[in-house]
Amino acid sequence: QSALTQPASVSGSPGQSITISCTGTSSDVGAYKFVSWLQHHPGRPPKLLIYEVSVRPSGISDRFSGSKSGNTASLTISGLQAEDEADYYCTSFTRMSTRAFGTGTKLTVL
Amino acid sequence: QVQLQQWGAGLLKPSETLSLTCTVYGASFSGYYWTWVRQAPGKGLEWIGEINRSGIANYNPSLKSRVTISADASNGQFSLKLTSVTAADTAVYYCARWAIYWGQGALVTVSS
């Protein structure tokens, strides 16, 4: 199975908003609502930010939001903060009953 | 509070079998997806496989011939076995109750 496509890096200044895209196919992102976004700081376990395209788990800031259009999902982080600097991964359920990860995006807060 | 505690051998030789176990504390075992994910040095996250709500295991096609994920619900544990390891299997391995609860991660190094 192929990895979902994300930009390798994005950057923004504190207080700004950024959006990370996640492009898949009609066999994964486009087929299901089961798209999630994870934040990963090196040396720590990943942290779930968004599940089922746009749902935030309890305790996750409303600065994080998710959406989907066709085969592309997006994560928007508003009001950037220094602690948001991390790697971000999308993931989707697939028609093969597997899960695919995105290629990962490194967010730099300038 | 849900916690996942994982353990297993951290140093393997090529051709050996990787074996990791994850114990679940503070949560029912049934009704969830129990997943293994890894991250090789300098690489992104890779989904290895999972046991679904029906108790059926699904695997990454690229690893399917070498992977077995099993569960022992009575003891609240699930396990990963990966046979015939090579240096390419060197990674930090994570167990998870998809996708909200994660183990602490375990570095497995394959080296002769």
Q: What is the mean pLDDT of residues B56-75?
A: 95
B103 and A CB contact within 8 Å = yes
pLDDT interval class at B9 (50, 70, 90): confident
3-state SS string for A19-59: EEEEECCCCCCCCCCCEEEEEECCCCCCEEEEECCCECCCC
Q: Is B88 on the interface with A (CB under 8 A)?
A: no
Across the interface, whether the CB atoms of B45 and A36 are under 8 A apart is answered no
Residue recorded with tokens 């989904």: B47
Tokens at B59, concatenated: 């695997």
* Cα–Cα distance for residue pair A18/B30, rounded to 1 Å: 38
* Contact status, residue B110 vs residue B14, Cβ threshold 8 Å: yes
Q: Using 50 as the pLDDT threshold, list the residues of chain A that sit under it.
A: none
Q: Which pLDDT score is estimated for A45?
A: 97
- Mean pLDDT value of segment B5-18: 94
Please give the Cα distance from B106 to B6 (Å, whole number): 7
Strands (E), B9-65: 11-12, 18-25, 34-39, 45-51, 57-59
DSSP element (H, E) containing A9: strand A9-12
Round to whole Å and give the CA distance between A46 and A44.
6
Decide if B102 touches A, using CB distance below 8 A.
Answer: yes
Distance from CA of B103 to the nearest CA of A (A): 7
